Homo-oligomer: A and B are copies of this chain.
């Protein structure tokens, strides 16, 4: 494991906090205690504390101690690699279509312009796989940003990061000829943008849903992977 050790220690500390029934404001065990508990130096625990401090989970007071500021998430950050590509894609479909619907109501002219520009870029660079993918990502991100809600942007961003870091997705992606789908996806994107222009929440939702449905088909039809069916969700 070439992981940075302080992160590991940090996660362990989170676990300890969850196992104990500490409340907000309570004093944490000292750095020295954790050091001995995990069999590492205080330096390392200290680095882990810095991590927790930046995550706003704890507050550190010189000479006094460290205090719990918020309870850590129950879910200790699932490994990207053990989530299937289909699950990932389905999550994107559910969330991004809802986000698109929301965006249709809040989108500004500047947003629409940026979306158009990205789309143009996508078309121009269709041959360049690298840039086309970047434009793809940018388009979806811009839709999320049009909601003016940073949490929604965060969520969409998280899913894309997972996609980019998911080995199975890459594998799936690799076996498909690039040129075959970029054209289709571009058309899909255009439809989404059109619905956003019309400020139609339902239209944007359906367009985004259909787009990701197409992505699913492209990826799974040609492969031997089983893909559960979720038709019937759309009503347009």
Contact = CB atoms under 8 A, between A and B. Distances in A.
A80 B101 contact: no
Interface residues of A, number: 56
Contacts of A151: 83, 87-88, 90-91, 159, 162
B78 A150 contact: yes
A185 interface: no
A177 interface: no
A47 interface: yes
A132 interface: no
Integer count of this chain's copies in the complex = 2
A236 to B, nearest CB: 11
B91 A149 contact: yes
Nearest to A152: B91
A193 to B, nearest CB: 19
Interface in A134-186: 147, 149-152, 154-155, 157-159, 161-162, 164-165
A35 interface: no
Given A94-B99, A101-B233, A233-B102, A75 B155 contact: no
Contacts of A4: 53, 60
A225 interface: no
Contact of A149 (B46, B90, B150, B233): B90
A28 B54 CA distance: 22
A78 to B, nearest CB: 6
The 6 closest A-B pairs by CB, nearest first: A98-B98, A70-B165, A91-B151, A73-B161, A94-B102, A94-B98
